[in-house]
Amino acid sequence: MATTKNQVHRSISLPSRPHPTTIELHQQLHKLKTWESTSSSSSSSHSICTSLSMLDDLYTSLDDLLHMSSTQQAISHHQNEPCVEELLEASLRVLDICGITKDTLLLQIKENVRSLHSALRRRKQDSCVERSVGSSVEKMKIVHGRLEDLEMAIESIENGLESVFRRLIKTRASLLNIISL
Q: Are 141 and 75 in contact (CB under 8 A)?
A: no
At residue 143, the pLDDT reads 77
Q: Share the mean pLDDT of the chain.
A: 81
Asked whether the predicted pLDDT for residue 166 surpasses 90, the reply is yes
CB 167 within 8 A of CB 67: no
Q: Which residues contact residue 133 at a Cβ distance below 8 angstroms, ignoring those fewer than 6 apart?
A: 120, 123, 139, 140, 143
Question: Which whole number is the average pLDDT over 15-34?
Answer: 86
Is the pLDDT reported for residue 128 higher than 60? Answer: no
CA–CA dist 60, 32 (Å, integer)? 13
pTM for the structure as a whole? 0.71
Largest pairwise CA distance in the chain: 113
**Where is pLDDT greater, at 121 or 80?**
80
Amino acid in position 171? T
* Beta carbons within 8 Å of 87's beta carbon, 6+ residues apart: 175
